[in-house]
A and B are shown apart, each in its own frame.
Chain A
Amino acid sequence: MTTATTPRTGTRAPSVGTARTRVEGREKVTGAARYAGEIPFAGLVHGWLVLSTVAHGRIRALDTEPVLAMPGVLAVLDHRNAPRLNTDFASLLGMRPDPTCAVFQHGRVPHRGWPVALVLAETSEQAREAAESLVVHYEEEPHDTDFGADRPDAYRADGIMPAVTEKGDLEAELAAADVVVDAEYTTPEEHHNPMEPHAATAHWDGDRLEVFDSNQGATWVVGDLANLFSIDPATVRVRSEHVGGGFGSKGVRAHQVAAVMAASVLRRPVRVVMTRRQMFTLIGYRSPTVQRIRLGADADGRIRALEHRSLSATSTVFEFVEPSSGVARVMYDADAHRTENRVVRLDVPSPTFMRAPGEAPGSFALESAMDELAVACGQDPVALRLRNDAERGPVSGLPFASRRLSDCFREGARRFGWADRDPRPGLRRDGRWLLGTGTAAASFPAGVAPSTATVTAHPDGRFTVRIAAADIGTGARTALTLVAADALHADPERIHVRIGDSDFGPAMIAGGSMGTRSWSWAVQTAAQEVRERLALGTDIPAEGITVRANTAEAIGALTPAERHSFGAQFAEVAVDPGTGEVRVRRMLGIFAAGRIVNPLTARNQLLGGMIWGISMALHEEAVRDHASGGLVGADLAGYHVPTHADVPRIEADWIDDPDPNDPVGIKGIGEIGIVGAAAAVANAVWHATGVRHRTLPIRPDRVLSAAAREGAPDA
């Protein structure tokens, strides 16, 4: 495919748009890259979190005496002796902190797996055994973890967007429609599960607090820690050189706070690493959703009524809204258009942002409903989407800065071989397998947030870029190297990008698909000024010439517009009607997602998102046991994520779509890959079997029971 046009940079070939292996790649393939829990410290103390074994109640007593007498145990922190924390502040993202991270402040237990104590010992073996030996007595109270559409206590909630949008007379337009789709879709509780467990090592170096941490933004963590402990942010330094995945889960969590508390009490370096099982209650997750969609259309498929309602769950201590109906506010317009996000409070852990929050579950519902509408209208699913491509924001009325959705569908359909598709379901066989194909649309906001960066020109012709960015696997470090190279008219080999250090000044987090764009803007601005100064023939002193940039003003001057990435997903599946097994055979995603800085890492990231879509469609599901209030099988054996054998050769590509208002043309690609991917798979399962699956994941037992119920082709 074509790549973005590149600004002229003299005779030097541009670096942005060229495939580059990761600058830290050698460290990662040799094991030399050190992650947060791997920095050696003399006199290191190991902290092990103890979590509640009841879902609701109050701590009556903790039998700490016998634990303190165990070998190597130094202290036990709990709500009776822990330092007090301040939670009355708004964090970098404008939200109050999730009280789950404000550990040991009271004896109440709002969910199973709530942190109740931290055991500190000389070795990890000692800490673990002592933590597992700690007996905690509870006054247990009844709990309620039962999520479902019929909750009378659900309420409308804003979260990151208004709860409700509304225009036109929905019931009248539905009544006037030739074709109506009215269906309910459910998605399960899903967990991030980055491969690197959350880990932090905290220590006081004089009056400076140093934290080596695994996070998505050092600025974010410094701000929250300084507020929580009521200390000057300038005295806190957070470093995260390498981060083993995040997906929304790596903000301020119980581990950093517990480590800082313990380091303050013991005045020794303290490391706290979560176990995989602890991650299932401490780091947030994607709420389950129940979504109802009503679409009313003319016989030719033009949508005249659209309603998207979503219900999600949150904890009793923190309101997080999974904004699933938000995707309908961007994708399709209608004369009557209504969207709503509601939430219900349960005795469960707090959910949080997880890769494409809102869009991921929302697009499953909306794009499945679009497929149902295509069937009901006798329209081709691609043609239906082309017909309903919005010209302006359906809710905002604002123009789209760019919207190449239809081009993605045309290109994807051509490459996937969509034109030859027989729309009738349940007809194609390959041995025992039923085959089908499906498609879905994707969108994700293209946002940007203020950041600062410095660029230093050294006398030897080299440059150092410093920015508190986080490379959680996105390839940000490499992308920023390429962006700086073009702005400086220099070879990437001469540029050293340093990230993951709060001392580099405030910067956006790796989140919301905004990291690389936000950081690139700052790096490009500083680098350009450095080049302009060097062009004057200035002598470079030994300490170099350093320019700091802050993008707050430039970003504040952006004119209002609908700014999004778009994409078209295509999937082919095989379904075994005898066992209910679903296999994805091939998949193609075509995206219009801004200028692609590094095709090598960008393709990898888009494919990773699509694999998350396969996972969402077929594998992932956290099952809650309402008797205990906890999860069943909260580990990587019980919670399924795809492995090699689940993933065929899938393809991701893009069409030229530079953002017209970004200095580099970037939109952000971290999340668009998952959006619509699960719906494409589910729609392909319908095409294979003739059975519509409105509940994820599409497990073998669901395929078999649905086939028995609906009379689908059998084995």
Chain B
Amino acid sequence: MATSTSSVVTLHINGEKFTLPVDHRTTLLDALRERLTLTGTKKGCDQGQCGACTVLLDGRRTVSCLQLAVAAEGREITTIEGVADGDRLHPVQQAFLDLDGFQCGYCTPGQICSAIGVLREHAEGRPSAVTDDIRPEAGPPPLTPEEIRERMSGNLCRCGAYVAIVDAVAKAAADPRATGAATVSEEDVA
């Protein structure tokens, strides 16, 4: 039941629908963590500065601490719990695991969601601040370590696992499943 301070919303998360009343002040991050026990999405700063709460919103990277839950209604939300294909890890997850792209693991879900977003943005030909040729017809630039570092720079890792994270993203990028699987379909984005 909606009141002046709360509303009932339906959130589409990892292919499932969740209908729940939420306080209007509730961020998407807190709705995930405290209402839906989807605690894989982490709260590092609650101010949009660290990237630990990164989820995919309609396939795009978003810091969920700066998104109100009521404003996420009707959008496709993908969290770290939804990127694997059942028991089969997403190539980015597998590469993080194999190459030790983390230490304490707290920034990791955000790094992984961000990396999945990066690979998709790159495949779409979107340039970054370090891309030399930014003409639309130039297509995706080579996904160099410099490109990965630039594009991943919204995600802090205080343990300093950056070297392995960049290696992991590069390794996953070579897997054709990395840009397609477990994100949303083209129709959803349109």
Contact = CB atoms under 8 A, between A and B. Distances in A.
B33 interface: yes
Nearest to B49: A636
A276 B149 contact: no
Interface string A481-506: 00000000000000000000000000
B163 A28 contact: no
Q: By CB atoms of chain B within 10 A, which of A276, A472, A610 has the most?
A: A276
Contact of A195 (B42, B79, B96): B42
Given A129-B25, A194-B158, A608-B161, A644 B81 contact: no
Interface in B34-56: 34, 37-47, 49-50, 52
Contact of A28 (B105, B145, B149, B165): B105
B42 A29 contact: no
A57 interface: no
Interface stretch (B107-115, B119-127, B134-142, B173-181): B107-115
B71 interface: no
B47 A636 contact: yes
B57 interface: no
A244 B109 CA distance: 12
Interface string A15-59: 000000110111111111111011010000000000000000000
B97 A635 contact: no
Contacts of B76: none
Interface string A641-677: 1111101011000000000000000000000000000
Given A30-B81, A125-B25, A244-B42, A644 B47 contact: no
B44 to A, nearest CB: 5
B80 A197 contact: no
Interface in B126-185: 145, 148-150, 152-166
A612 interface: yes
A346 B44 CA distance: 30
Q: By CB atoms of chain B within 10 A, which of A40, A192, A194, A245 has the most?
A: A245
B93 interface: yes
Nearest to A28: B105
B155 A32 contact: no
Interface range, B side:
35 or more
Contacts of A196: 42, 44, 104, 106
A126 B34 CA distance: 13
A439 B94 CA distance: 36
B98 interface: yes
A473 B84 CA distance: 23
Contacts of A364: none
B66 interface: no
A123 B23 contact: yes
A566 interface: no
B52 to A, nearest CB: 6
B7 interface: no
A26 B89 CA distance: 9
Mostly helix, strand, loop or mixed at chain B's interface?
loop
Nearest to B110: A195
B145 A635 contact: no
Interface residues of A, number: 62
Given A28-B105, A195-B106, A647 B40 contact: no
Contact of A649 (B45, B103, B145, B153): B145
Given A31-B40, A123-B23, A649 B163 contact: yes
Given A194-B158, A472-B104, A26 B46 contact: no
A195 B152 CA distance: 16
Contact of A31 (B109, B155, B162): B109
Contacts of A642: 160, 162
Contacts of A192: 158
Contacts of B43: 37, 197, 273
B58 interface: no
Contacts of A451: none
B157 A195 contact: yes
Nearest to B152: A644
A644 B40 contact: no
A474 interface: yes
B19 to A, nearest CB: 18
Contacts of A242: 104-105
Interface string A378-413: 000000000000000000000000000000000000
Contact of B98 (A21, A35, A608, A636): A21
Contact of A473 (B38, B96, B105): B105
Contact of B160 (A35, A40, A647): A647
Nearest to A643: B153
Contacts of A317: none
Q: By CB atoms of chain A within 10 A, which of B42, B94, B163 has the most?
A: B163
A609 interface: yes
Interface string A568-606: 000000000000000000000000000000001101110
Given A123-B23, A129-B25, A644-B165, A195 B160 contact: no
B10 interface: no
Contacts of A644: 148-150, 152-153, 155, 162, 165-166
A91 interface: no
B164 A604 contact: yes
B39 A38 contact: yes
A243 interface: yes
B155 A245 contact: no
Given A604-B103, A605-B103, 9 more contacts: A30-B93, A124-B34, A195-B104, A195-B107, A195-B158, A601-B100, A637-B49, A644-B166, A647-B163
Interface of B: 23, 25-26, 30, 33-34, 37-47, 49-50, 52, 79-81, 84, 89, 93-94, 96-98, 100, 102-109, 112, 145, 148-150, 152-166
Interface of A: 21-22, 24-35, 37-38, 40, 123-126, 129, 192-197, 242-245, 247, 273, 275-276, 472-475, 600-601, 603-605, 607-612, 635-637, 641-645, 647, 649-650
26 contacts: A24-B105, A28-B102, A29-B80, A29-B96, A29-B105, A31-B40, A123-B34, A192-B158, A195-B44, A195-B107, A196-B42, A196-B44, A245-B103, A472-B104, A473-B102, A473-B159, A474-B103, A603-B100, A608-B160, A609-B160, A636-B156, A641-B158, A642-B160, A643-B155, A644-B153, A647-B162
Q: Which 4 residue pairs spanning A and B have beta carbons closest together?
A: A31-B40, A244-B106, A473-B104, A608-B160
